Structure 1
Amino acid sequence: MSASTAPFSEHSGSEQSGAHAAATVSVVFVTYNSAAVIPAAVASVPAGCDVVIVDNASPQGTGWYNEISRPARLVEMGRNAGFGAACNAGARAATTPYILFLNPDARLGPDTMETLLAAARLYGEPAILMPAIVSEQGRLMRKEGTIFEQVPRSARLKPQEIAGDYCTRFVHGAAFLVSRAAFFDLGGFDEGIFLYHEDDDLSLRAIARQVPIIVVPGAQVVHEGGGSSTPGLRQTFRINRFKQQSENYVRAKYGRPRSRLALAAKLVGGCLLAALLANPHRVMVRAGKLRGVFDPPARQGG
């Protein structure tokens, strides 16, 4: 991991007009029952920028579309095709040189777009640019390695140690800017992954192609990270089953499988401990992963 010596001032401020940004970037959102958060996310996009919202057949519908505060194009998938497939559809619908993928529960800071675009000009192509992603409480949210090279929290850069832009080895799917050409040259998101770890897979392909992944701390995105609602036990089970299915898929794809029996034994032990502690949420987390361990590493259903 290397650090850039480029100071924030080289690509901060508003050198790029809103009109130029509009001609340069499409912001792609993927929604699934996102009515409670998507209006604020769309409102954070600079005026004039192209906005593409891809809906994965939300059961709650898309009635919110007529209530958002600015023009946006709606792409309806017709089925829950998965996060990666919907992102690819949004990228195909975009016609601008750059794409900013943004989660519907995230909001751009006031100068984030201009700062990321200035960084793209500074570092050239191809490159993947990520803003600093912070929680509602201001806590820096990041991961610095893929599932094959996880970096423990104790070894990650501390906020006070970050003196400028720096390279990392993980693309956080919640928010990143990339040229449309570079995204498709990398193959886009793997549509064999329904949900979770699709950003690990994109990171691994970027690393293999020596495409730099650069964090630009001068650009910020506020990410709720699911804080708006707490999933029930059934949904917790389902989410963690999907996570394990995706991990199975990625590990099989890169020839890095884990022993299913060893993992299953660990998860069974975790279930029993959580049950003894009367923690049903942790029971469902481990039970969902345990079920996913024995699912085939194949295309997941919606």
Structure 2
Amino acid sequence: MVVTWRGREHIGACLDALAGQTRPHRTIVLDNASDDGTAAVVAAHPLAPEVIRLDRNAGYAGGLAAALPSVGTPYAAWLNDDAAPAPDWLAALEDALEHDDRAGAASARLSRPDGAVQSVGVRLTALGYGADAVTGPVFGFCGGAALVRMSALAEVGGVPAGFFCYYEDTDTSWRLRLGGWTVLSAPDAVAVHLHGASTRPGSRAFHRWNERNRLLMLLRCAPLSAAVRELARFAAITLALPLRRAVPAAPNFAVGLRLGVLVEVAARLPGTLRQRRAIGRRAVVDRAAVWAERGE
């Protein structure tokens, strides 16, 4: 399952790599209303993938949520349109889940074009930030190239479509762990990732989605004390920034951006707390125990 938006320059290489997989599979391309000729590239590709085209950009999370009902197989692979998996990528991921029936997801090894390891999964920091792990074990899977067990995903409530982009994988991993599932790193499943070909890491939009979705994820999944602490910390830093003489130039230290994040989180708070209660009702593992699994 490939989610794309304005992926004309790189989705051909992604589909070429999927055509070369050693394990039989269906390929679904979810096109987020691309307007750059992506649809023509996909339509002309010899792989002839199934295409779902949205009339608006629903983001990576929204695209996944829109495509998942079309999946009728036990597993669904999530793949960025700027990733090119090795021929045995899918086979290695499937074997990892086949050998552990309590594994809800397996994360591939994403490598940069120069061969450096970008990610073998996601680790969780003490502040509740998701970060790339370059060695295992991992807290969660990286949604850029992973395989998810569909029955586990349905059991824990699916994908948080409202996140739009970023943290949908870490949030899903957290809920899998709360549901008694594990998340594996499968470093033998390799994909080369251009990283940032579809979005611009470091941009204002990037930081807005990251900061907002981290807080929403914590409110949904973390122990209440940790979620409230991090929300309060974020608000306190935001209010203190105008009083500082030296402020980092990064967009996530811009007061306007941070106030916008707080407004978005506040607007979503009633729904997020309802989601938290639903997640708690489904959980079989204590939130504090999962928080402790972050390994930081």
Whole-angstrom distance in 2 between the partners of 1:121 and 1:229: 32
Equivalent positions of 1:38-187 (< 5 A) are 38-45=11-18, 46=21, 49-60=25-36, 62-142=39-119, 144-146=122-124, 148-149=127-128, 167-187=137-157
Whole-angstrom distance in 1 between the partners of 2:250 and 2:12: 34
Whole-angstrom distance in 2 between the partners of 1:240 and 1:124: 36
Instruction: Give unmatched runs, 5+ long, in structure 2.
Output: 269-296
Query: In structure 1, the residue corresponding to 2:106 is in which secondary structure?
Result: strand
Give the aligned residue type for 1:251. Answer: L
Structure 2 CA distance for partners of 1:270 and 1:35, relative to 1, 3 Å = farther
Cα distance, 1:246 vs. partner? Answer: 1.6
Query: In structure 2, the residue corresponding to 1:50 is in which secondary structure?
Result: coil
Whole-angstrom distance in 1 between the partners of 2:27 and 2:206: 28
Equivalent positions of 1:1-302 (< 5 A) are 28-45=1-18, 46=21, 49-60=25-36, 62-142=39-119, 144-146=122-124, 148-149=127-128, 167-226=137-196, 228=197, 231=200, 236-254=203-221, 255=224, 256-257=227-228, 258-259=231-232, 260-265=234-239, 272-274=246-248, 282-287=249-254, 289-297=257-265, 298=267
Cα distance, 1:251 vs. partner? Answer: 2.9
**Contact 1:56–1:78 at 8 Å: present in 2 too?**
yes
Structure 2 CA distance for partners of 1:271 and 1:177, relative to 1, 3 Å = farther
Percent identical:
23
Instruction: Give unmatched runs, 5+ long, in structure 1.
Output: 1-27, 159-165, 275-281
Structure 2 CA distance for partners of 1:204 and 1:266, relative to 1, 3 Å = farther
**Contact 2:64–2:161 at 8 Å: present in 1 too?**
no
Cα distance, 1:169 vs. partner? Answer: 0.9
Structure 2 CA distance for partners of 1:123 and 1:78, relative to 1, 3 Å = same
Aligned-residue Cα RMSD (Å) equals 3.0
Structure 2 CA distance for partners of 1:78 and 1:271, relative to 1, 3 Å = farther
What CA deviation, in whole Å up to 9, does each residue of 1:226-273 have, x standing for no partner? 1x48849xx922222222222232233344032243221466589954
Query: In structure 2, the residue corresponding to 1:221 is in which secondary structure?
Result: strand
Give the aligned residue type for 1:169. Answer: F
Give the aligned residue type for 1:290. Answer: R
Runs of 4+ more than 4 Å apart: 147-153, 228-232, 265-272
Q: What does residue 279 of structure 2 align with?
A: none
Paired residues in the alignment total 253
Whole-angstrom distance in 1 between the partners of 2:199 and 2:186: 31
Whole-angstrom distance in 2 between the partners of 1:151 and 1:253: 15
What CA deviation, in whole Å up to 9, does each residue of 1:24-65 have, x standing for no partner? xxxx01111111111111111127521001112223352222
Whole-angstrom distance in 1 between the partners of 2:45 and 2:245: 43
Whole-angstrom distance in 2 between the partners of 1:230 and 1:89: 20
Q: Normalization by structure 2: what TM-score? A: 0.74
**Contact 2:105–2:146 at 8 Å: present in 1 too?**
yes
Cα distance, 1:69 vs. partner? Answer: 3.2
Cα distance, 1:70 vs. partner? Answer: 0.9
Whole-angstrom distance in 2 between the partners of 1:91 and 1:151: 24
Q: What does residue 25 of structure 1 align with?
A: none
Give the aligned residue type for 2:8. Answer: A
